[in-house]
Amino acid sequence: MFIRNCWYVIAWDHEVPADGLFTRTVIGDPVLLFRRADGTIVALEDRCCHRHAPLSRGRKEGECVRCGYHGLKFDARGACIEAPGLDTLPAKARVRTYPVAVKNKWVFVWMGNPALAGTESLPDNFSCDHQDWNYLPGYLHYGTNYLLIADNLLDFSHLSYVHEKTLGGSTAIAQARPTIEKVPYGIRVTRRVPNVPPPGYYRRMGSFDGNLDRWFIYDFLLPGTLLMHSGGRPTGDAPGDMSRAVRLHSCQTLTPETESTTHYFFQQSHLVAQGDASIAQIIYDALVVAFHEDREMITAQARNIALDPQAPMVPLAMDAALAQFRRLVTEAIAAERTTAEATQATDPAPA
């Protein structure tokens, strides 16, 4: 079960070719992307209505796609406009289209009722496309359900252990108590960690003799997006003095592929003023190492859960954010189901 009435990131903008076909499965639906002549992106169900072959194995013809199995041709609205040897086409000969939004290099698809696809719920991933910020884009595939990864991102106490030698570097991160607030579409987690050593790559972005006060302030938004301001500044610097601070912004998002697999898009931006392109590479490399640490742990956790899916977990205070987020997901799915049932119940009966 997934939320459908929401935007999922399906690709980085650069992944969709100028003149070709791109496919990725989102919440169990195979989705085809291609570009119109003006560069805007079309999203169609990547499953020919005829015999369910993936349209992505066919070819792009202008602003249409032709199925590579039996040659049906679909336009950008999903209508079948040609089938070899047929003079007329049944009205049902069409594939589903999905609303698309592109915002700051992220390509989103709306998997639910198109009438509800407002752009106000798009996340503010500004640092993915901003002159003051620089980053390298990342993608990782997971062999687990996305909620286990959301859990991970919603409890940064794991930085002290999973990433002890990479992003973390201090048990103080785990000991710090975050505050959690409700924000539109999700929750905000604020974790301040005073007086800790800087992680390795910080040293490339500033000259630090001693400890830093670090902060991690992020929104975690439905369906699974993390937007984070983080950084550190020398412990003891005057309040409000950011002159020696390292500042970072990170945009990460989870898109379920199936119940047991997940797409993970990520970046962590640094201020252009604080480092050249080599810094972006260093940060990217550090993230890749760290996110593989996460994936190994979460995959092992998933194996343990599969051994005994009914075994209870013991909730702890550090689970507050993940528990709240899981509740938001559950409520959103339940609300969609209620709406769907209400809609069916009030449909006028056929005369």
Kindly list the residues in this chain that would bind its own copies in the complex (CB under 8 A). 25, 28-30, 46-47, 49-54, 57-58, 66-72, 83-86, 90, 92-93, 151, 155, 157-158, 160-162, 171, 174-177, 258, 296-297, 300-301, 303-305, 307-308, 311, 313-314, 316-319
- Cis upstream peptide for 223 (omega within 30°): yes
Pick the closer one to its own copies by CB: 90 or 118. Answer: 90
Pick the closer one to its own copies by CB: 121 or 170. Answer: 170
- Specify the DSSP class assigned to residue 313: P
Helix, strand, coil content of the chain in percent (nearest 5): 30, 30, 40
Pick the closer one to its own copies by CB: 128 or 176. Answer: 176
Contact 227, 248 (CB under 8 A): no
User: How many Å apart are CA 251 and CA 268, to the nearest integer?
Assistant: 6
State the minimum distance, in angstroms, from the CB of residue 186 to its own copies. Answer: 20
State the minimum distance, in angstroms, from the CB of residue 220 to its own copies. Answer: 17
User: How many Å apart are CA 336 and CA 108, to the nearest integer?
Assistant: 20
Pick the closer one to its own copies by CB: 85 or 348. Answer: 85
Q: What are phi and psi of 326, to 5 degrees?
A: -60, -35
Contact 14, 139 (CB under 8 A): no
Pick the closer one to its own copies by CB: 175 or 195. Answer: 175
State the minimum distance, in angstroms, from the CB of residue 52 to its own copies. Answer: 5
Pick the closer one to its own copies by CB: 82 or 237. Answer: 82
Q: 81: which 2 tokens?
A: 């406009």
User: How many Å apart are CA 53 and CA 239, to the nearest integer?
Assistant: 61
Pick the closer one to its own copies by CB: 71 or 197. Answer: 71
State the minimum distance, in angstroms, from the CB of residue 301 to its own copies. Answer: 5
- Specify the DSSP class assigned to residue 289: H
State the minimum distance, in angstroms, from the CB of residue 45 to its own copies. Answer: 9
State the minimum distance, in angstroms, from the CB of residue 144 to its own copies. Answer: 12
Q: 246: which 2 tokens?
A: 């390292």
Region for residue 268 given its phi and psi (left: phi exceeds 0; alpha: psi -120 to 50; beta: otherwise): beta
Pick the closer one to its own copies by CB: 44 or 93. Answer: 93
State the minimum distance, in angstroms, from the CB of residue 155 to its own copies. Answer: 7
State the minimum distance, in angstroms, from the CB of residue 251 to its own copies. Answer: 24
Q: DSSP for 169-190? A: --THHHHSPPEEEEETTEEEEE
Within a 10 A sphere around the Cβ of 320, how many other Cβ atoms?
18
User: How many Å apart are CA 302 and CA 143, to the nearest integer?
Assistant: 9
Residue 51 in 3-state DSSP?
coil
